[in-house]
Chains A and B, each alone.
Chain A
Amino acid sequence: MPLIDISVVNVSKRYRIPGQRRDGIGSFLTKLFPRKEEIWAIKDINFEVFRGEALGIVGHNGAGKSTLVKLLSGITAPTYGQVIVRGALSALVEIGAGFNVELTGRENVFLAGSILGMSRREIARKMLGIVEFAGIGDRIDAPVKTYSSGQFLRLGFSIAAQLEHDIFILDEVLAVGDVAFQTRCFDRIDRLRRAGKTIVLISHNLAAVERICDRAILLNRGELVMTGSPRDVIEEYSRAAYAVMSWSSEAFDVAELIKVRFERPGGGPIQTGEPMAAHVSVLLKVPTRDPIITISFYWPSGYLCTQLTSAGSCKDRALQDGLVSVDFVCPVLTMQRGLYRADIAIESGSELIAHWRCCSLLRVEPGKIIGGDFYLEHSCNMSAERSHMSRT
């Protein structure tokens, strides 16, 4: 059995938010004994983080992720239950919080480092690495108030990145900095992983959760909904996210969406590497010239993944009003397993005439499993060359 680094046992956290208050007479009494609204940010949660594992925490805004981070790092105590932490824990939660803008970057490194529990000598030893990681250079001796917001955040994270603790809690740290800095952050996290450090990652960046974590938990309104592999948890999370996402349409009274259906020709589940067909039925209420119908698929994170479009295939066609049916066929589905949001748009003469947002979901089951963001259809031939070894 693996060692347990963090145990969260029956933990609940209540916040009291002051309710509506009358001013005037009795306001002193209502302040002393205010009518307070109780909010349970965390409700009776139990889970464990094993040594050397990376656990992702996923959930909507207000699901209790930040509260959970505060409880794990000891910033605040739970209302009920207990958190048991084995080893030196460091929470990389906006460590720039410890900065005083009047001081120089270097002075602030000493201040923030000591908040994280480092000794002066330890910080001095790591100073070079911190400055390099932050990519700040000579600006380290300028007052922090002259820093750009990016420099400020980068310096904050760089201090924490040099820590040699056992357990790291990373709360949205990957949202900091430019591409080069993010790459350094990922490298640093990879190195922590290889060094066998325990990591708890809280992020809205689902791709990062999937890439970094061994396991994930899903929070919803303070409750632990699910524990499992990052893929499963992200799928459940996106399903819940789409359920609350109200599908909206901008049809401008010219068209009505009748049906959207995805299927695998010949039956069976839709899988990576297998063929897929998409059928769309639209009722056009006005005659339309050169309509282009496009299906856009979005990652759970909201980025556009890919599109199917009638542009190019069906050109120069004026359609009468009435039912229009569009069939798309993909010989090989390259999308990886997951739940994708689908939008449908109709354009006519480069003008958007109808748009249905989040009108359907495409569930892709695991098929030909391969690493990376998408599946590339390929073939391969291996043969031995007799005369000489050559690399092509």
Chain B
Amino acid sequence: MNVASGAADDRPIKVIRPTQSVIELLCDGLTSLIGHKSLFVEMTLLRLKLRFKQSLLGWIWAVVPPLLLMVTYTLIFSNVIGFKTGDLPAPLFIFSGLIPWTFFSTSITTATAGIVTHRYLISRCAFPREIIPLSYVVSALLDLGVGILMLVAFMYYFGFWPTLHTLYAIPILGMLASYSAAASLCSSSFQARFRDIGIAMPLLLQIIMFTAPIVYSSDSIPQNVKNIYFLNPLAILIEAFRQTVVLGIHPNVDQMIYCAIGSIIFLGLAYVLFKRLDTTLADVI
């Protein structure tokens, strides 16, 4: 059993400690995340597979919620209340807002509930736990892809054509995904300790939905409030998504830079928070 102590030893050293500095935490965390990239893939695949097992409609569930919401909101806000939707027909306007919004709300809701579903796994296995909420975000991203195909079909029906500006949707959705991931990391790590956040989630999301121009046009916001209104990255991104994809308009550069910086900072902070709470996650969940 004795190995000469002079022998070359290139094994990795891992230190398990109560607290780590932010730098160590980021380095260790990202290294182990990369080491478990196949788990990330498997977890995401699991989400997709589970949709087919014991569910009749499978993928159709990716498009049913935004479609139903679109019909409902069009009837209420456009036909009954009479909100103006600018140059766009109301169904197209609302649907183009609902697609990114559904992605955002689905990621957070499923990620928050999902961390508790994996309680058993968390208390028995060591692996980068952020994979759990993040896999829900990626799986919602795939739903978003299906939703965008639907949106393009809608645009065709109403006589709108995608332009080169539509490609701006990629960085816009990237930023939205980053905010979703950050929010999911925060809410799931709190949910592990206090289930209240999961109970409050539907209500919170309902309120947040009305802070962004999804069912109404931002034109109806008074000019003096608009500066404050567009401090909300969600409002900016949803507005920009609709402008670039449907209307083919160049997005506002200042707003995009603001969102990009914000998304990086928010994601970084959320990751550090998650990893900090992660050290004792198995004890409290």
Contacts and interface: CB of A to CB of B under 8 A. Distances in A.
Do A and B truly interact? yes
Interface string B231-259: 00000000000000000000000000000
Interface of B: 1-3, 5, 7, 9, 11-18, 35-36, 38-39, 41-43, 46, 49-50, 53-54, 120-121, 123-127, 279-283
Contacts of B127: 115, 117
B1 A80 contact: no
Contacts of A84: 13-16
Contact of B39 (A3, A50, A115): A115
Nearest to A84: B15
Given A2-B1, A51-B1, A114 B42 contact: yes
A76 B280 contact: yes
Contacts of A53: 1
Which 3 interchain pairs have the tightest Cβ spacing?
Answer: A77-B279, A114-B39, A87-B11
A306 to B, nearest CB: 34
A94 B121 CA distance: 9
A129 interface: no
B14 A111 contact: no
A166 B11 contact: yes
A78 interface: yes
Instruction: Give the bracket for the number of chain A residues in contact with chain B.
Output: 35 or more
A91 B54 contact: no
Interface string A221-243: 00000000000000000000000
A86 B9 contact: yes
B46 A74 contact: no
A191 interface: no
Contacts of B2: 2, 52
A111 B46 contact: yes
Given A75-B282, A118-B38, A88 B9 contact: no
A79 interface: yes
B1 A50 contact: yes
Nearest to B52: A102
Given A95-B125, A100-B46, A103-B53, A82 B9 contact: no
B17 A77 contact: yes
A336 interface: no
Contacts of A389: none
B280 to A, nearest CB: 6
Contacts of B120: 97
A71 B121 contact: no
A93 B125 CA distance: 7
29 contacts: A2-B1, A3-B3, A50-B1, A53-B1, A74-B16, A76-B283, A78-B18, A79-B18, A83-B16, A84-B13, A84-B14, A85-B14, A85-B15, A86-B13, A86-B14, A87-B11, A95-B125, A97-B120, A102-B49, A102-B53, A107-B49, A111-B42, A114-B41, A114-B42, A115-B127, A117-B35, A117-B39, A117-B127, A120-B42
B14 to A, nearest CB: 5
B50 A82 contact: no
A45 to B, nearest CB: 13
B38 A119 contact: yes
B22 to A, nearest CB: 16
Contact of A52 (B1, B42, B125): B1
Contacts of B46: 100, 103, 111
A83 B15 contact: yes
Contact of A93 (B12, B49, B124): B124
A77 B38 contact: no
Contact of A76 (B12, B38, B43, B282): B282
Contacts of A98: 121, 125
A214 interface: yes
A70 interface: yes
B68 to A, nearest CB: 26
A51 B38 contact: no
Given A97-B121, A102-B49, 16 more contacts: A3-B3, A52-B2, A77-B18, A77-B279, A78-B17, A81-B18, A83-B16, A84-B14, A85-B13, A85-B14, A85-B16, A87-B12, A91-B125, A102-B50, A111-B46, A114-B39
A84 B15 CA distance: 4
> Which of B7, B9, B121 is the most central at the interface, judged by chain A CB atoms within 10 Å of its CB?
B121
Contact of B16 (A1, A77, A93, A214): A77
> Which of A50, A100, A103, A115 is the most central at the interface, judged by chain B CB atoms within 10 Å of its CB?
A115
Nearest to B18: A77
Contacts of A94: 124
B5 A2 contact: yes
Interface string A97-130: 1101011000100110011111110000000000
Given A76-B280, A115-B39, A115-B125, A103 B49 contact: yes
B115 to A, nearest CB: 15
A82 B17 contact: yes
Contacts of A116: 125
B149 to A, nearest CB: 27
A15 interface: yes
B282 A70 contact: yes
A203 interface: no
Given A2-B3, A118-B38, A71 B18 contact: no
